[in-house]
Chains A and B, each alone.
Chain A
Amino acid sequence: MNIEFIKLEKKILKLWYVISTILFILSLVSIWGICLFANDSDTIVITIPSVIIGGVLSFVFLVLLYGYPSLLYRSYSYYYNDDRIIINKGVFFKHHIVVPVCQIQDLHIYEGPLMQIMKLDGIIISTAGSNYIIKGLSRKDSEKMIESLEANLRKRLEELKDEKLH
């Protein structure tokens, strides 16, 4: 079976970078705050070893915070058709989730504050056991997905009812 997976909206990457930037600024403040001000004297004291460690830590945070979103974006994809929803995600651990449409109990759309600014949606697919979340669809896509999932679900339930009767 050849499946064409759908990528998330490109804008979600921007949103993740915004979050990364906020986190990076916070981590810089704490790293250099400790490096320069945590000492016995009242003024800034610069010692070479601690500056080197501060530099290394800043670099590690930079790579992590800005590298991770693009890797996550690349690994994240989803697919749905008449009978199933497939979600792929995970940078190091590749998760591949297959949920049959007939197991859906309810569908939700949600938006966080940043997502509202960027006009992005998330979809929560609830089943009788777990919830599955796809975060970062455009509003058009999410509405389309909910609509077709609902239609598929109704169709499948009718079919299953018929199967039981026969």
Chain B
Amino acid sequence: MKNFTKKYFAYRCFINLIYTLFVLFLFVTSIFEAFLEKTDGDNVVIESRYLLYVAIGYVVLYAIITIFSYLYYKLSGYEINDKQVIVKRGVLFKRKTVIDLENVHSVNSKQGIIQKLFKISTLLIDSGSTNTSHQAEASIIEDENVVNELIDVLKGKKRVESSNSTSYLENEHSENNSLYNFTSKRKVIYGLIYGTVFALVLFFSIAFTMILSYVISNLSSEPNSFGEIAFVLIICSIILIIGSYVIAFAYSFIRYYGFKLYKENDSLIIEYGLLVKVKNTMKLNRIKAIKVERGLLERMFKYATIKLEVIGYIESSNNGNGNQATIGVLVPLCKESEVNSIIESVSPSYVPKAQQGKAKSFISYFTWTNIILLFALIIPYLFGVMVLLNYNLINDLWIISSIVGATYLLVNIIVLFVSLFDRNNQDIIIDDNRLIIYHGGIIRRTTIIQRHNVIAIEDVTTKWRKEKGIFSYRIHIRTNNMTNVIHVNFIDEHKKDELLNLLIF
């Protein structure tokens, strides 16, 4: 078992220093504030022995953490042999991960900005277990050159296994020949599109909150004037719009810096990042699905995003929720007309076929939504009416009536809006050994899945829909456990038999 690189220990010491200094800063400032409060701000005299205590405390804290880091470094290690990758980590809670080489799903390397200073990077190895689909199963921290070597070793071992001599030759030619170029022009368009989307979403949510707070404050004894609220709304909107574009541009220029997509033997490699450098390596036959996504704005300008479902290849979202992860990106932005050629160059069996049909029913979007909605609104409404009657507040009845009415109307408008988009993008095409699914309304998605990755078929209907031959389908696929069911609504009943024939029993 080999230890992680020594540089890793140095790196930990540096990180520890930053953390402990930060803690010290917080501690000292809070103590200082407490002193100020006690002494009313004048003649603050801090005795030198207190300073000594703080210094000793700091040294002890730093020493403990560093000893811990040292133990962690000494007790952690890894080994790659002909059959397995073994990684050992942890001091108090020890963890030993063993992954069979034949089960390795994806091999990714990641390098943060401080790691770059120390010339080390993290190698993430994933076996594709659904239990740990939000994070890699094993990680090895090594010198950046060693990590690159290890990636080659892992690939090489797999190559020996498959003992396919022709792939060696292909390798020499195909290496570093990028299949897609994320040009600066595209980065700008990406920034503009996503910036606008963020800004619009934020604007509408703020406007909604403002209107709601205006209504509520009008009901209270001291109503705010509409002018005040409009002023806050405008200021917030300006800040948010600027913020949205800054984030979107940072995303496209910094996160996707140096975006490279290329094939090597039977592996696909995706590299990007400036501050955090990521290199993902996955075998082509580990791809579970390819998703083509087109949002409203992307559709207007005829652009599309292509995503890749490979267990272990995820982009963790930046909003702080550790467990939320979105599926990995294959191509951040490309012309709609280029989608097929890009997918063809990656893996020809995933090229989508054109949509053939659409949802058979429009009214289906409304019937059950309305019945459930009415029920969900009427029961709390009746409770409310009962209370108002008891308190003799008959005049206030119109308030809750109008709130209930407005909610009903608003939900119906949203349903109408969604269903208008939704119904044109519902279809299932069965083509040899694969499935092409058109689903999603506002964000249109085309998902291409190979037959062996379909796990189960579920159909949903009601009595009335059955008579009309309208069925909805849920296609359960083998993938990250967050996005494992695809919904297709209100299409033909005959698809059911075709889908069942597709399942491998």
Contacts and interface: CB of A to CB of B under 8 A. Distances in A.
Contact of A92 (B383, B390, B456, B462): B462
B460 interface: yes
A99 B484 CA distance: 14
Contact of B505 (A45, A53, A101): A101
B456 A94 contact: no
Contacts of A39: 390-391
Interface in A57-86: 57, 60, 83-84
B128 to A, nearest CB: 9
Given A92-B368, A103-B455, A127-B455, A57 B484 contact: no
A103 B456 contact: yes
Identify which of A39, A47, A103 gathers the most chain B CB atoms within 10 Å of its CB. Answer: A103
Interface string B474-505: 00111101001100000000000000100111
Contacts of B456: 97-100, 103, 127, 129-130, 132
Given A95-B460, A129-B481, A130-B484, A53 B390 contact: no
Nearest to A60: B379
Interface string B441-480: 0000000000000011111111100100000000011110
A53 B459 CA distance: 39
A84 B485 CA distance: 19
A102 B500 CA distance: 14
Interface of B: 130, 368, 379, 382-383, 385-387, 389-391, 455-463, 466, 476-479, 481, 484-485, 500, 503-505
Interface of A: 31, 34-35, 38-40, 45, 47, 49-50, 53-54, 56-57, 60, 83-84, 90, 92-103, 127-130, 132, 156
Q: Which 10 residue pairs are nearest across A and B when measured between Cβ atoms?
A: A129-B484, A83-B505, A99-B456, A97-B458, A39-B390, A128-B478, A100-B505, A50-B389, A129-B455, A50-B386
26 contacts: A34-B386, A34-B390, A35-B390, A45-B390, A49-B389, A50-B385, A50-B386, A50-B389, A53-B382, A53-B385, A57-B382, A60-B379, A83-B505, A93-B368, A93-B462, A94-B460, A95-B459, A95-B460, A97-B458, A102-B504, A102-B505, A103-B456, A127-B478, A128-B455, A130-B456, A130-B485
Given A54-B386, A98-B457, A132-B456, 12 more contacts: A34-B386, A38-B390, A40-B391, A45-B390, A95-B459, A98-B456, A99-B456, A102-B505, A128-B478, A129-B479, A130-B481, A130-B485
